[in-house]
Chain A
Amino acid sequence: MNIFENVKMALSSIWANKMRSFLTMLGIIIGISSVIAVVSLGQGGQNLIMGEFEKIGTNTVSISVDDNNAERSDYITFDDIRLLKEKIPYIRYATPILRVQGWASSATKTKIAIIISGSADLYQIQSNELLYGRYFNDIEYEEARAVAVIDKTTAKSLFKMEDVVGMTLDVGPKTAQRSVTIIGVVESEYDMFGDMSDNEYVPALLYMPATTVSYFFSLDETVNQVFIMADSKDNVESAGNLAKNLLENRHGNRGRDVYKAENVMKQLQQVNKVLGIFTTFVAAVAAISLVVGGVGVMNIMLVSVTERTREIGIRKAIGARTGHILFQFLTESVIISCIGGILGLIFGIFGAYGLGRIAGITPHVSPGTVILAILFSSAVGIFFGIYPARKAAMLDPIVALRYE
């Protein structure tokens, strides 16, 4: 009596009750496929967020002013930022972050514009791939020159072409737009959603020197956020603390805790943790359906044992041992669960890609998930099959033989 014999016997009995076996499997199929779909979408989502953060860079620290707690004099000036870079050796790049909403007009078209501005170091920190031209440099920042880098989608939307280096745009508040020269075009941030250059509601995206933007929008040359980038991973923490100290000294607000230094990597870890917990939670809910599926397997195996009591009696009369009967029924429940598990895996992967397409997430199906799904469905088969199989194996041969 070997495994092959057992499997053959189990398959023939599963095949003899096709409809019933399929309905039993359905519970496992639904359970496994929902767990697989949730887990692969969760992992896909984590990868997506990870990618976004890594674009900013893991050595980056954001220093922000706590708006609820800050006085006018606490806001960070452009001079502060120059000093940060000069005085603190760990800081390789430093840029103010100033986000403004305005208008951008080409000769033919006017659009709402989101202007992200900083020093020339902005490119190092929020780096999208440069497609044409160049980024603005330190001189253009210091002298507040009227230059701008735009993204590909904006170029196509306003000019109907991609390489628009050297052309001019009118930028500013709606009533006071000034002419700027486009010196570079970068890859679009949200390219994965497809070409949106025809969409009227997608704003134009511009990257400009913060000095220029302050002048255009009549702002006071202060910001509430600075990004600094340390020269190595080990110095990230010190760079943040030193920067905070320097700012507190310059603004004389030590002890009020106005500035918050946050490592982007730490934020990433936090977001990942939250997403991980969420994924685990949803997967756990889905796993409940797997348990329900397992109970279904147990139920049908119990019916099967009762139906086949006489068969068990005959088998015992001609020499089947307790182990033979136990393994015969256990093999059957494991095979039902395993087939269910494999079908569930297939449906789950399809489902994950289907849902992922709608949600804009590329699901991540790891080999670990696949192996775990199959092992888990086998475990369900064993766990919920052992009781019926034991019941069958323990039957008294003479009672079983007399059973009608």
Chain B
Amino acid sequence: MIRIENVTKVYKTGAIRLTALNDISLHIKPGEFVAVMGPSGCGKSTLLNILGCLDKMTSGRYILNGKDVSTLAGNELARIRNKEIGFIFQSFNLLPRMTVLENVELPMVYAGVPARERREKAIEALSKVDLAERIRHRPSEISGGQMQRVAIARAIVNNPSIILADEPTGNLDTKATEEIMRIIRKLNDEGTTILMVTHEPDVANYAGRIIRMRDGRIIDDSPVQNRTVI
């Protein structure tokens, strides 16, 4: 599913060189739920961005679903982000001027799905995250937990094989966190591969495997001992 080999990412700002990822190799099998943990600045978000085809690596190889994506150009990467990957962000990243429904429809707009089909699929995705009502509201009119559920609906609407979540519960209270994690876990149970960055141990325990990072390297990679039961 996901295989990276000897990936290095170096940021250059003027004379300063910062190595965010230092020769990382990693393999994630289909259907896995992986949590990435580590102190801030350890490179976990950089890893997620590279896996999500948002950022380019300095060196190394990245095989996604059997295809080498490290050499692809911008528009091909856009197609992969559109069809094969779903993103969930800490700050939700919904478009404020659009309604909930329009936000969920947007990935399908870029995929070229006809309007009628778009509406049906968006409503279907929204009902999967228990948000079938309030779909005509704007993001500013709903709660944080609801916003993250909209973002999840947007992430799954094109049926991606992988969901990448960057601190999905970082801006949420305990109750909403539990809600969101149940949904993500459910998606995993249905077969979607999930890679989630977090620094909360409680949240990480929803995953089946935890990768710990420090200073751009993986220092530990082990299954979760006492996995949270839902």
* A residues whose Cβ falls under 8 Å from a Cβ of B: 1, 5, 12-13, 16, 310-311, 313-324, 397-398, 401
Contacts and interface: CB of A to CB of B under 8 A. Distances in A.
B109 interface: yes
Given A311-B95, A314-B95, A318-B154, A324 B110 contact: yes
Given A398-B54, A398-B55, A318 B81 contact: yes
Interface size range on B against A: 20 to 34
The 10 closest A-B pairs by CB, nearest first: A319-B82, A319-B110, A321-B78, A318-B107, A398-B55, A321-B75, A398-B54, A314-B93, A319-B81, A397-B54
Per DSSP, are chain A's interface residues mostly helix, strand or loop, or mixed? helix
B79 A319 contact: yes
Given A1-B112, A319-B110, A320-B82, 15 more contacts: A12-B97, A311-B95, A314-B95, A315-B95, A315-B106, A316-B54, A317-B87, A317-B93, A318-B82, A318-B106, A319-B107, A319-B158, A323-B75, A324-B110, A401-B89
Contacts of B55: 398
A319 B54 contact: no
A320 B97 contact: no
B111 interface: yes
Contacts of A401: 54, 89, 93
Nearest to B52: A317
B55 to A, nearest CB: 5
Contacts of B78: 316, 319-322
B93 A320 contact: no
A310 B107 CA distance: 16
Of the candidates A313, A315, A318, the one having the most CB atoms from chain B within 10 angstroms of its own CB is A318
B97 A16 contact: yes
Nearest to A397: B54
B74 interface: yes
11 contacts: A12-B97, A311-B95, A313-B93, A316-B81, A318-B87, A318-B154, A319-B107, A320-B82, A320-B110, A321-B110, A322-B75
Contacts of A397: 54
